[in-house]
């Protein structure tokens, strides 16, 4: 296979049929940008929402897929890093408000009761 090596460049995807996320998904927008910037011509053969489904469709031979490195690769599918794509970053996220939801709810109920009185 033309991608059978330890690492591929975006230009190696030129002309391939790709299984990609829907156009409104962040991964698809980033992939579109990266491929465009690299001058890569490609054809979407299927759209699928979800890393596992993208990998599954690629394993069925529908086309190649560019997936997150955390995806479990199905048997028979080979995965190698794409050199120009950024590493995936993970963020801790939490609500900035420090009050407990129950306290906020009780305070709202209390103020509502006072307005009715």
Locate the domains of the chain by residue range: 10-88
Q: Is the separation of the CB atoms in 48 and 54 below 8 Å?
A: yes
How much is the pTM?
0.71
Record: fold of 10-88: D-Maltodextrin-Binding Protein; domain 2 (3.40.190)
pLDDT at 92: 80
User: Could you report the per-residue pLDDT of 36-80, keeping only the tens digit for each?
Assistant: 999 999 989 999 999 999 999 999 999 999 998 888 898 989 899
Which distant-in-sequence residues (6+ apart) come within 8 Å of 28 by Cβ?
20, 21, 22
Q: How many residues appear in the chain?
A: 117
């Amino acid at each position: 296979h033309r991608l059978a090596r330890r690492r591929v460049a975006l230009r190696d995807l030129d002309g391939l049929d790709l299984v990609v996320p829907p156009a409104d998904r962040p991964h698809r927008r980033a992939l579109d940008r990266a491929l465009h910037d690299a001058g890569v011509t490609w054809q979407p053969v299927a759209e699928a929402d979800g890393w596992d489904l993208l990998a599954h469709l690629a394993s069925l031979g529908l086309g190649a897929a560019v997936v997150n490195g955390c995806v479990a690769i199905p048997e028979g599918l080979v995965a190698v890093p794409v050199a120009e794509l950024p590493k995936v970053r993970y963020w801790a996220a939490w609500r900035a408000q420090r009050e407990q939801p129950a306290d906020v709810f009780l305070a709202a109920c209390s103020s509502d009761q006072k307005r009715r009185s």
